[in-house]
Amino acid sequence: MVVGRQKFDTEVFIVGGGPAGLATAIAARAVGLDVTVADCARPPIDKACGEGIMPDGLASLAKLGVTIPIEKAAPFQGIRFWGPWTAVEADFPQGVGLGIRRTKLHEILVQKAEDLGVRLRWGARITGITDNGVRVDGEEVRSRWIVGADGQNSIVRRWAGLEKGSRRTQRYGFRQHFRVAPWSDFVEVYWGDDAQLYVTPVSADEICVATIARKPRVRVPDMFARFPQLSRYLKQEEVSTREQGAISSTRTLKSVACGRFALVGEASGSVDAVTGDGLSLAFQQALALATALKEDDLTRYQAAHREITKLPAIMSRLMLAMDNSPWFRGRVLRALSSEPSLFERLLAIHTGALSFVDFGIKGSTSLGWRLLTA
């Protein structure tokens, strides 16, 4: 193909074939761009995560033309927080979320990309960039754009000189599945002194249990002792998959695009996994990046990326403050429990259904008063 006066093998070359890379490929094909995705792994690609997609993430998937069959997932209607002496829950104001095994989600995205004509190169060895593109399996692939969707330790980010930024926190996550019917229509978050535990329904007969902690020694089997209320529902012998781990980082980059390079997903920065926003952010970024690539204007993507990540970053800081301070955590949980409507409105903000402006002075004052008196 010829773009301008230069010949290319592909207009967009995406390094990384996880959900962020595939979503970007799907969005780019939808606006008429020629796309190639390459990854050293082979599908289905798995990763330790909570496996929940929030309603705003599902809305972004719908814009990508991707539908998750309900028989491959499990719906949840909201979030429930558990503390030592209190619990509070709230429904999503717009629709439901879905829990789905990461491997099943990957299969769905791969199929959609294939249907749209995305070139998929699995098991590919990507060794560097050239003046005209990327070196893959010892050969040059000429490309107009190079997109890094290769995760927290992105090599594309380093090649592009986009490493400048800050890393505020690093925590450790572990995930395991249990063959048991979900006992709740909520994603349940159990708050402990130095860790959180998430329970997400992923099918009619299986749940995902994930932990996030400041120390790597906190593992899923330890949670039975830390949160004895789980023993009412779970037994260790009901484990259906091996434990898998990952690092959860909070990273902010000064820039996510320059020249012919752009970053998406965790390669472009990340919020702590405690927010559950990883997939939703990646899908929103994919849509914004595709538009910018089509219009040949990455400054537009830079601005959109900043807007997309602003609110999740605020929520991440709030929830990390709850993790770091037992006193603050107790106050927040008691405040939300005493006035559940506050939790409903905060969850609406978290999922993009309500802005901080709409939350307003009245909501902020009410939350502040409840924190003071909890």
Tens-place pLDDT, residues 95-121: 899 999 999 999 999 999 999 999 999
Q: What is the pLDDT of residue 94?
A: 85
237 or 311, higher pLDDT: 311
Q: Answer whether residue 209 shows pLDDT above 60.
A: yes
Structure-token pair, residue 365:
């004052």
Whether residue 9 contacts residue 143, with contact meaning beta carbons closer than 8 Å, is answered with: yes
Name the H helices within the chain.
19-30, 55-63, 102-116, 155-159, 223-226, 278-294, 298-324, 326-338, 340-350, 356-373
Q: For residue 29, what are its two tokens?
A: 């094909």
Has residue 364 got a pLDDT over 80? no
| Residues contacting 215, CB < 8 A, separation 6+ | 172, 194
| Residue 41 lies in domain | 2-45+55-66+102-168+250-319
The pLDDT of residue 243 is: 93
Question: In terms of DSSP bridges, do strands 257-258 and 97-99 run parallel, antiparallel, or are they unpaired?
Answer: unpaired
Judge if 254 and 362 occupy the same domain.
Answer: no
Same domain, 288 and 366: no
Q: Are residues 37 and 119 in the same domain?
A: yes
Question: What pLDDT was estimated at residue 2?
Answer: 55
- Coil, strand or helix at 121: strand
- Domain match, 314 and 265 both: yes
- Euclidean distance between CA atoms 271 and 199, whole angstroms: 20
- Pseudo-torsion of CA 7, 12, 15, 21, nearest 10°? -170
Closest CA to 58 of 29, 30, 92, 13: 92
Based on the fold, state whether residues 270 and 292 are members of the same structural domain.
yes
Range with the lowest mean pLDDT among 1-15, 178-192, 197-211? 1-15
Which H helix or E strand runs over 284? helix 278-294
In percent, the amount of the chain with pLDDT more than 90 equals 67
- Residue 304 lies inside a defined structural domain of this protein: yes
pLDDT at 172: 93
Tens of pLDDT, residue by residue over 217-262, are: 888 888 888 888 888 888 877 999 999 999 888 899 999 999 999 9
pLDDT band per the 50, 70, 90 thresholds, residue 357: low
* Residue 315 forms part of a structural domain: yes
User: Which of 304, 319, 334 is the C-terminal boundary of a domain?
Assistant: 319
Number of domains, the chain: 2
Q: What is the dihedral of CA 283, 285, 288, 290, to 10 degrees?
A: -70
pLDDT mean over 45-56? 91
59 and 120, same domain (yes or no): yes
CB atoms within 10 A of CB 284: 25
Looking at the structure, do residues 333 and 308 belong to the same domain, yes or no? no
Query: For residue 44, is the peptide bond before it cis, meaning its omega torsion is within 30 degrees of 0?
Result: yes
Of 90, 312, 68, give the one whose Cα is nearest residue 186. 90
Q: In terms of Cα–Cα distance, which of 257, 175, 49, 77 is closest to 19?
A: 49
Alpha-carbon Rg for the chain in angstroms: 21
The model's pTM is 0.92
Query: Which of 163, 141, 161 is CA-nearest to residue 152?
Result: 163
In 3D, which of 156, 352, 106 has the Cα closest to residue 268? Answer: 156
Residue 293 lies in a domain: yes
pLDDT category at 53 given cuts 50, 70, 90 is: very high
Q: Examine the domain organization and report whether 116 and 35 are in the same domain.
A: yes
Same domain, 365 and 258: no
Same domain, 335 and 305: no
Peptide bond into 326 cis (omega under 30): no
Terminal Cα distance for the chain, rounded: 65
Per the CB < 8 A criterion, the answer to whether 48 and 210 are in contact is yes
Say if 265 falls within a structural domain.
yes
* Whole-number Å distance between alpha carbons of 187 and 89: 10
Per-residue pLDDT at 359 exceeds 70: no
| CATH, residue 278 | 3.50.50.60
| 358 — pLDDT class (breaks 50, 70, 90) | low
Number of Cβ atoms within 10 Å of the Cβ of 347: 20
C-beta neighbour count of 297 within 10 angstroms: 13
> Average of pLDDT values for 70-94?
92
| Amino acid letter for position 207 | I
- In a domain, residue 173? The reply is no
User: Per the domain annotation, does 181 fall within a domain?
Assistant: no
Q: Are residues 286 and 333 in the same domain?
A: no
Q: Is residue 183 part of a domain?
A: no
In a domain, 362, yes or no: yes
Q: What is the mean pLDDT of the chain?
A: 90
- Do 302 and 351 belong to one domain? no
